[in-house]
Structure 1
Amino acid sequence: MTKSLGALLAICLAGLQFLAVFLVVYTSYLTSERALLLHARDLLRDVGINTIEHSKGFLSPAEGAAELAARLAQNRVIASDDPQVLERLLFQQLQIAPQFAGIYFGSEDGNFVMVMRTPEGPGEFRSKIITQRDGKRLVQLIWRDDSFGIVEARVDPEDPYDPRQRPWYKKAKAQLTTIWTDPYIFFTSQQPGITLAAPVISNHEQGFIRGVVGVDIEISMISHFLSRLNIGQHGKALIIHSDGDVIAHPDLNLIKAKNEDGTLRFANIREFEDPIARAAFAPMANDGLLTVTEETPTEFTYEGQKFVATVMPKISDTLPWTIAVYAPEDDFTGVIKQNRSMNIWIAALVAAISGVAGLGLAHLIYKPVHAFAVRSTLIAQGVIDPSDPQPRTYMELERANTTLVREIVARREAEREYGQTFDQSPRGMAQISSSCGAFTRVNASLCRMTGFEPDELIGKPITDMLLSASSDSPPQIDAPFKDFVGNREMRCRRKDGSLFWVAVNSIIVNDADGNPMHAVVTLDDITSSKEAEGQIVQLNRDLSHLARGNTMGQMATGLAHELNQPLTAIAQNADTALLILNQHAQPDDELHEILLEIEKQSLRAGEIIRALRAFIRKDAGDRSVFGFGELLDQSLRLVRAEATEANVTIESEIAPDVPDVEGNRVQIAQVIVNLLRNAIEAIAYAGSNERRVTVRAWPDAALMTVSVKDTGPGISPTINLFAQFETSKPDGMGLGLSICRSIIEANGGALWLEERSEGGEGGAEFRFTLPLHRTA
């Protein structure tokens, strides 16, 4: 489609303006976004580090307090076996550390003193003292106020508590060092917490402990700390234990989950009710364990929104907690995205204004160009004369107009000369459409050649007239006929349906851009030359066959003469060897049989050569009476090796009492061998699954009928088998069956190919007859 120069100039100007502003905005956005995302990752890392330090600072006093109490009890600074003194000491420690939920001491003899905070009880603090004296167990519960005054006291005889059976006691006793338990939900306060325990070791006996000091610490304060962190607008931080349990989160209620028995536990990250945290960190929990050895920044998408996240390595071996932080990417880049959208709209507005201004400017530039284009078109159509005055335009266009007018005049002259050549040419010429392959222009010579009128050919596809040289199908020609360029000989159909040979020459005419406009085809009638060429080819074939037959006759005569002498020498040498062997006292029977076979076969070969020489001399040869079964056995020996190599089985169905026949024994053997070899080669070439040749013979009146049948592919009906130089083998000469038929006929019989019955087995079956011996 033709484009307007004015509109093109306006669109290009506006487009360049928009593209320039867009590139500036977009590159600025990319650099700002990258910087903000790097800043976001740094912020998330700082949050993780801050949370780690806060957790350490929150838990360190508990470790010091527990170890201090253990050392005091160990060095007997306080009487750990005096419950009242020990209760006061633990009460003071609990007041000093506000993050402690309770502090207690359990001894090896089952005594236990604990002081814990009770914000919902009769007093602010509750003490639990278990003593065992003289086999009696006493459990006292005492509520006290902030000044250690008693608010309420009672005895609980049903309390079965034994500190020695608690996990914190067993673990501290087993490791003989300060230990941390895994976080759990306290039974009384139902708040998340952790227990720190330190053993009290006896000074008198190494490895013997007197008891264990324990501290319960509520870690809900860590969740309150996380809730006060500002991580963008919607970011959050959480703490995940190495077993995947979430032990701290800004929403404290999310970290609790119920067991089947109604007790509370920590929620695992894979079931956590914060879907964004679950999407970010659950994939990192392999086999239920979260093991992060280094700081790991990640990016992920949840419900179409992009997030950034950072996972810190565990705090320590004793506190295998992982700090995980996530935040929406838009919290950091949302402002610049809004700014980017605004800048793009500004760029579009600037481009629109520039386009309108450019359209007016383009009109001023385009007006003289349009006048120049209209004048050139009118000159090309012959409406105005090239010498008419030109409109006012640019200097460059005036020069271009002068050159263009010259080109137009030269082109019109060339078209006139081409038209005369096309119409008056004695050769058939046509222009073919490059899009549909139909005639668009034809000359008179082509019409005379084909018998069509010009209007009958215009619009007719050229493939409706041309036929391939080797078949009656039209040639495969696809537009724009690149595969049809060149010279070729084809057959053409006249209007009356008759065919004649033409030499087709075709070229493609392209425009200045190299695109095909049309094809020019010339056709010459070469029917007479093709007929003369066919006669020459047939004559050359006949001469070649004649020369080949003479050469074969000479070769056969020479070979017969040359082979007769060495065969005679073989027979004489074998006879001499037999004579020498018989003179030994104990001749070797196997060697004697081998020499007899050598003599027999050499004499037989001499008979074949004599028969061949007689056949070449048109001699009928010596006829004799012989047993056909014996001759067949000898012939089968000659082809046995070939059959074995081709994996072909030869079956003989000859009755033992088959009568004798008359004929030239050697010639008949040659026919049998030739038919067997043909059958073996046919099966081998075809690759048949069933590979079998069957030979049968039966008497019929005065003749013996012999059948040689194979399981090969059969004989094509298009081949004249018994004609000279006709063969179905790729390397055959076409003489074997012709000679065989001549031999059988010379011996009073006939040779033919038995036709297959409808629905019969495949393969070929040759039959020939021989006269039976007439008895007096």
Structure 2
Amino acid sequence: MPATPNSPHPRQLVAPLFGLVLLLLLGVALSLFHYYQLSQVMRNDGSKLFERVVQQVGRELDNVYRPPMQALNLLSLSSLVKTDNLAERLDYLPLLARVLIDNPQLNSVYVGWHDGDYLMLRPLLNPLSQQRFAAPQRAAWMAWHIGADGSQRHNSYLFLNADLRIIEARMAADEGFDPRQRPWYAAANSADQQLVTTPYVFFSTREFGTTLARAADNHAVLGADLTLDRLSDTLRQQRVTPSSELILYTGEGIVIAYQDPQRLQHTTQGSGALEPRRFQELGSTLLATIALDGYRQQRQTVKELEGQRWVIQQQRIGIQGTPDSYLAVLVPEAELLADAYRLRQQGFWFSLAASLALLTLGWVLWWRLRPEL
């Protein structure tokens, strides 16, 4: 059918339609380009953010270890290590208490002498610790002393109030404890610097923990206990996202701290002894998969695990005196970059909507001007 005098020739419609289609394709192309460019920027920025997070965790762990180490250095210079009876040692309880007050992450602080004498001070912070030692109601501190009077050895508990005044002295059962046979004593006595032990079971509380220790000349060895629960609390406070995993472990894979401390210990079959868990024994498929690559890893990588992408960083923690320790931080990429993903998606749909709006406007203008073509 021939075109009417007022209607445009079909050839006249081709150029405007082609322009509108080209405008739409250009808008979609720009939206996709913006989307993928932003994705690349997000990954680069996410990597830098992740490195800052790992550095922050490292600083927090350094803050856990360094102050009590400095306190032990000062204690080693005091005359406490040269005392040889309980009466003299009681004068130093305020000094030991100050170390514990200034370092609430510590479970106890103590001295083991070369003749087998021992003095330990611990705070009774909660009903559980008071119940464990059947402490009097007003007791805020407990001191444990082992000493000799001639050939007779005395093993006693001293319960003290908040002012460090003795409210009850009690003879304790002799359970064969000798500080010289404990791992912290042997390690520090043969070392020329302060150190941190690998995790082991504390004698008096049966808790897992590590000991900061240092020798004091030829007189004694000083120690301070950190439970794995306390170290794990530090990691839990540094969690980046709800699903992130943080784990501190030795080069042999023994876990020092984990965000879920209830999963840190288990009883070995047969012997019934308590032992710390290894990296791959925490009941996490994710951690078990990472452990297959080896414990002594220093890397940042991305892996597809458990249905999502994980950003993984493993690095050695270089705190003087600590065992060969590594920190692993695993964060789901979707959670790490949640805000960036949202902004990227919003930007893509905004660009696409703007292109469609321009296309619609162009179509309307073309339709109205069509009779003039």
Query: Does the 8 Å CA contact 2:38/2:344 hold for their aligned counterparts?
Result: no
Alignment-mate amino acid for residue 104 of structure 1: Y
Query: Does the 8 Å CA contact 1:18/1:350 hold for their aligned counterparts?
Result: no
Given the superposition, is the C-alpha separation of residues 78 and 247 from structure 1 closer, same or farther in structure 2, using an over 3 Å criterion? Answer: closer
Write the mapping of 1:571-610 to structure 2, written as runs, cut at 5 A: none
Deviations 1:480-504 (A, max 9, x none): xxxxxxxxxxxxxxxxxxxxxxxxx
Query: Does the 8 Å CA contact 2:123/2:142 hold for their aligned counterparts?
Result: yes
Write the mapping of 1:228-377 to structure 2, written as runs, cut at 5 A: 228-229=237-238, 231=240, 234-260=243-269, 261=271, 263-279=273-289, 281-285=290-294, 290-292=295-297, 294=298, 296-316=299-319, 318-319=321-322, 320-331=324-335, 332=337, 333-339=340-346, 342-343=349-350, 346=353, 349=356, 353=360
2:188 to 172, 180, 197: 172
CA shift, 1:30, in A, is 1.9
CA distance in 2, matches of 1:129, 1:291: 41
Per the alignment, in what secondary structure is the counterpart of residue 316 of structure 2? coil
Which residue of structure 2 aligns with residue 159 of structure 1? 175
Which residue of structure 2 aligns with residue 52 of structure 1? 58
1:147 to 145, 148, 163: 163
CA distance in 2, matches of 1:34, 1:68: 51
Given the superposition, is the C-alpha separation of residues 309 and 148 from structure 1 closer, same or farther in structure 2, using an over 3 Å criterion? Answer: same
Matched, 1:20 2:23: no
Which residue of structure 1 aligns with residue 222 of structure 2? 213
Write the mapping of 1:663-682 to structure 2, written as runs, cut at 5 A: none
Given the superposition, is the C-alpha separation of residues 243 and 30 from structure 1 closer, same or farther in structure 2, using an over 3 Å criterion? Answer: same
CA shift, 1:356, in A, is 7.2
Q: Could you state the TM-score of these two structures normalised by the residue count of structure 1? A: 0.40
Alignment-mate amino acid for residue 267 of structure 1: R
Query: Does the 8 Å CA contact 2:34/2:348 hold for their aligned counterparts?
Result: no
Query: Does the 8 Å CA contact 1:10/1:358 hold for their aligned counterparts?
Result: no
CA shift, 1:90, in A, is 4.2
Runs in 1 of length 4+ with deviation above 6 angstroms? 4-11, 354-361
Which residue of structure 2 aligns with residue 652 of structure 1? none
Which residue of structure 2 aligns with residue 183 of structure 1? 199
Which residue of structure 2 aligns with residue 100 of structure 1? 106
Per the alignment, in what secondary structure is the counterpart of residue 175 of structure 1? coil
Per the alignment, in what secondary structure is the counterpart of residue 222 of structure 2? strand
Q: Could you state the TM-score of these two structures normalised by the residue count of structure 2? A: 0.77
Given the superposition, is the C-alpha separation of residues 188 and 259 from structure 1 closer, same or farther in structure 2, using an over 3 Å criterion? Answer: farther
CA shift, 1:131, in A, is 1.8
CA shift, 1:140, in A, is 0.9
Given the superposition, is the C-alpha separation of residues 42 and 142 from structure 1 closer, same or farther in structure 2, using an over 3 Å criterion? Answer: same
CA shift, 1:166, in A, is 0.9
CA distance in 1, matches of 2:181, 2:242: 48
CA distance in 1, matches of 2:320, 2:357: 62
Given the superposition, is the C-alpha separation of residues 165 and 8 from structure 1 closer, same or farther in structure 2, using an over 3 Å criterion? Answer: farther
Write the mapping of 1:575-724 to structure 2, written as runs, cut at 5 A: none
Given the superposition, is the C-alpha separation of residues 177 and 326 from structure 1 closer, same or farther in structure 2, using an over 3 Å criterion? Answer: closer
Write the mapping of 1:736-747 to structure 2, written as runs, cut at 5 A: none
Query: Does the 8 Å CA contact 2:301/2:313 hold for their aligned counterparts?
Result: yes
Query: Does the 8 Å CA contact 1:113/1:129 hold for their aligned counterparts?
Result: yes
CA distance in 2, matches of 1:37, 1:305: 15
Alignment-mate amino acid for residue 332 of structure 2: P
Query: Does the 8 Å CA contact 1:142/1:152 hold for their aligned counterparts?
Result: yes
Given the superposition, is the C-alpha separation of residues 171 and 96 from structure 1 closer, same or farther in structure 2, using an over 3 Å criterion? Answer: closer
Alignment-mate amino acid for residue 43 of structure 2: L
Query: Does the 8 Å CA contact 2:188/2:214 hold for their aligned counterparts?
Result: yes
Structure 1 gaps, min length 5? 202-208, 365-776
Given the superposition, is the C-alpha separation of residues 90 and 214 from structure 1 closer, same or farther in structure 2, using an over 3 Å criterion? Answer: farther
Per the alignment, in what secondary structure is the counterpart of residue 313 of structure 1? strand
Which residue of structure 2 aligns with residue 569 of structure 1? none
CA shift, 1:182, in A, is 0.9
Alignment-mate amino acid for residue 339 of structure 1: Q
CA distance in 2, matches of 1:213, 1:6: 95
Query: Does the 8 Å CA contact 2:194/2:213 hold for their aligned counterparts?
Result: yes
CA distance in 1, matches of 2:276, 2:17: 65
Alignment-mate amino acid for residue 297 of structure 1: Q
Given the superposition, is the C-alpha separation of residues 359 and 104 from structure 1 closer, same or farther in structure 2, using an over 3 Å criterion? Answer: same
Per the alignment, in what secondary structure is the counterpart of residue 219 of structure 2? strand
Write the mapping of 1:415-564 to structure 2, written as runs, cut at 5 A: none
Query: Does the 8 Å CA contact 1:103/1:115 hold for their aligned counterparts?
Result: yes
Query: Does the 8 Å CA contact 2:86/2:145 hold for their aligned counterparts?
Result: yes
CA distance in 2, matches of 1:264, 1:13: 76
Per the alignment, in what secondary structure is the counterpart of residue 110 of structure 2? strand
CA shift, 1:352, in A, is 7.9
Q: Which has the higher contact order (CA 8 A, sep 6+)?
A: 2
Identity of aligned residues (%): 20
2:74 to 55, 68, 74: 68
Given the superposition, is the C-alpha separation of residues 136 and 231 from structure 1 closer, same or farther in structure 2, using an over 3 Å criterion? Answer: same
Q: Figure out how many residues of one structure are paired with residues of the other and give that number.
A: 343
CA distance in 2, matches of 1:127, 1:137: 16
Which residue of structure 2 aligns with residue 225 of structure 1? 234
Given the superposition, is the C-alpha separation of residues 24 and 87 from structure 1 closer, same or farther in structure 2, using an over 3 Å criterion? Answer: farther
CA distance in 2, matches of 1:306, 1:11: 43
CA shift, 1:81, in A, is 0.7
Deviations 1:78-116 (A, max 9, x none): 642122322441453233333321122222222222112
Per the alignment, in what secondary structure is the counterpart of residue 115 of structure 1? strand
CA distance in 2, matches of 1:341, 1:278: 38
CA distance in 1, matches of 2:117, 2:88: 14
CA distance in 2, matches of 1:95, 1:102: 11
Which residue of structure 2 aligns with residue 592 of structure 1? none
CA shift, 1:252, in A, is 3.1
CA distance in 2, matches of 1:350, 1:357: 11
Which residue of structure 1 aligns with residue 150 of structure 2? 134
CA distance in 1, matches of 2:87, 2:158: 11
CA distance in 2, matches of 1:277, 1:117: 35
Given the superposition, is the C-alpha separation of residues 91 and 243 from structure 1 closer, same or farther in structure 2, using an over 3 Å criterion? Answer: farther
Per the alignment, in what secondary structure is the counterpart of residue 84 of structure 2? coil
Aligned Cα root-mean-square deviation (Å): 3.5
Given the superposition, is the C-alpha separation of residues 276 and 338 from structure 1 closer, same or farther in structure 2, using an over 3 Å criterion? Answer: farther
CA distance in 2, matches of 1:270, 1:8: 67
Query: Does the 8 Å CA contact 1:78/1:85 hold for their aligned counterparts?
Result: no
Per the alignment, in what secondary structure is the counterpart of residue 77 of structure 2? helix
CA shift, 1:8, in A, is 8.9
Query: Does the 8 Å CA contact 1:254/1:274 hold for their aligned counterparts?
Result: no
CA shift, 1:7, in A, is 11
CA distance in 2, matches of 1:246, 1:61: 22
